[in-house]
Amino acid sequence: MDPSHAFSCSACHGGNPAVQDKPGAHEGLIPDPGDLDVVQKTCGRCHPEEARRVRRSSMALAPRMINHTRFAFGAQASPSAAYLTRSMDSVEQIPRWEESKNIGDDLLRRSCLRCHLFTNGSERPGELRGRGCSACHVPYPNDAKTKTGFHAIVRDPGVTPCLKCHNSNHVGADFVGLFEKDYHRGFRSPFVRGRLAETIYGSEQHMLSSDIHFRSGLKCSDCHTLDEIHGTGEVNKGPTTGVTISCRGCHVTGDHPAVMKDPNGSFRLLRGDRLIPSWNPESIPHSVASHKNRLRCSSCHAAWSFQDYGFHLMLEERPDYWKWAPTAAQNDPQVQEILMRSVGTFVEMLPPSDGPKAPTPEEKWQAPLAKDWLNGEKRPGAWFRGYSYRRWSNPPLGIDGKGVISIMRPMFQYVVSHVDSNENLLLDRWIPRTGGGNPALLWNPYSPHTITNRPRMCHDCHGSSKAAGLGEGLLDTKKRLFVPVVQPEKKLSDIPIRWDAMLDLSGDVLQSSVIPGAGPLDYATMRGLLEPSPLHRSTWNKYLREIGNPRP
């Protein structure tokens, strides 16, 4: 242990050090002192404020995941925090399905909520961690071991602990350039030394361009302050993240907590004393009047974004596993364990490196049981999943909750089915209605962590139907004609659905957002983006000359 934590074992782990035999010595033992259920009498004795804040943090209580999902399933009228993973400060714990009669609660409790700090979460390679404080400050390996690599507490956890939860096509994985491969075995890698490639975070990963900040040696905590990581001590009851940092804080104003101003006006990182590139107001894209204060920086500087279209979910209570076996990489540890136990590695193109695992005879298959991540209770059925298709190119644009143009991602395009143990079809390709009465085909603004110092070109947005929110397709603005590449889905509802379209050429909104005030571009902005003006053309020519003859 480091000098600050050179205590006796019992100082943190409890037990009875005066007793020589193991059962007596281990009476009252605290296996994980960072566990938020005991943290007040362990870490909290020396760090009381940190312990209090972390127990109320978003990483512990998951207010956005819970309440956005419940809003999408029509269980509440607002996406603001009405429920949490634990009852805290007059906000109740998310109810069980049997109590609320809303299937969205069962989805959350048995499929989604494994990453909050009150639970151990998954033990798959890359995801093994402690609870509470230990999740970040005790180093766990990325393999499938059940113990930490060594007994230590680290003050600066780096990036690896963050990825134990922030993976699987969520912000964090993109920071290091990871994009989860699709679930079907046909998307697996070519053989590596005659075997299938190793997996991490439950799936194989595409290796894409990582964020320039990661490549420059920065960690998550260099940008995200302790108020964002540990929390402020108050439960975040709003529908947004509460993240206050911005690109401007480092590159324009220099008022980020991690930034130091030199007398000559330049900015440096406090950690490492490195010079920070400053925003150039004379750059052609930066000097365009319609860009100023209307665009998030990531709208141009994000190299790619997560785009997982059509989120199909099936609550299956019967043991019908062969149809799911080719998609055994679907990212749910409980589903993966059920499939491995039942069908083994029979459907793999080659056995894994540790050898094949035989399937269980079909007559001995057991009906699926999945545990509730909040109370550990097992109930019949498990949540199987898949997507219509997944992409990372050409980020679509919309409006965030502050009226600023932002990259959007399809977060909640829910299509739900439910088959009970008697093979009764209770739900068939059902699209929930939100608490606002709209179909749960929802997009949210977000900041991809795929920043590059070479922004996308002007024509990647201007003249692009995808950037304007119409989706991929062929566009003729003179004839006001748009032919989508992805044909409408006609089997799910009375209205044909185009997964990648937030609005149509007339400006009618097709899909909305969970975030109040956010959604597709307004009609005027959409039309201006599709029909480049003479001013745009002249600016484009100036920009081409600038990048062709860069200043020294």
Q: What is the pLDDT of residue 538?
A: 79
Please report which confidence band the pLDDT of residue 146 belongs to, taking 50, 70 and 90 as the band edges: low
Q: What is the pLDDT of residue 243?
A: 84
Q: Assess whether pLDDT exceeds 50 at residue 211.
A: yes
Region 245-253: mean pLDDT is: 91
Could you tell me if 84 and 59 are in contact, meaning their C-beta atoms sit under 8 angstroms apart? no
What is the SS3 assignment for 446? Answer: coil
Q: Assess whether pLDDT exceeds 90 at residue 282.
A: no
Q: For the segment 483-496, what is each residue's pLDDT rounded down to a tens digit?
A: 999 888 888 877 78
d(CA 108, CA 124): 20
Q: What is the pLDDT of residue 284?
A: 83
127: which residues sit within 8 A by CB, 6+ positions away? Answer: 121, 164, 165, 167, 201, 202, 333
Region 502-506: mean pLDDT is: 94
Q: Assess whether pLDDT exceeds 50 at residue 552.
A: no
Looking at every residue in the chain, the average pLDDT score rounds to: 91
d(CA 65, CA 58): 10
d(CA 33, CA 11): 10
Q: What is the pLDDT of residue 355?
A: 76
d(CA 448, CA 396): 12
Q: What is the pLDDT of residue 149?
A: 63
d(CA 81, CA 231): 15
Ordered DSSP codes for 212-280: HHHHTT--HHHHS-HHHHT--SS---SSS------HHHHHTS--STTEEE-TTS-EEETTT-PEEPPP-
Region 404-410: mean pLDDT is: 96
Return the minimum-mean-pLDDT range out of 3-17, 108-122, 381-395, 532-546.
532-546
Cβ atoms within 10 A of the Cβ of 239, count? 22
Region 160-174: mean pLDDT is: 94
Q: For the segment 339-376, what is each residue's pLDDT rounded down to a tens digit?
A: 999 999 887 777 777 778 889 999 999 999 999 999 99
| Strand-pair category, 178-180 with 205-207 | antiparallel
Could you tell me if 416 and 314 are in contact, meaning their C-beta atoms sit under 8 angstroms apart? yes
Return the minimum-mean-pLDDT range out of 72-81, 344-353, 399-408, 467-476.
344-353
Please report which confidence band the pLDDT of residue 535 belongs to, taking 50, 70 and 90 as the band edges: confident
d(CA 121, CA 129): 8
Ordered DSSP codes for 305-362: --EEEEEEEEEE-S---TTTGGGTTSS-HHHHHHHHHHHTTTTSSS--TT---PPPPG
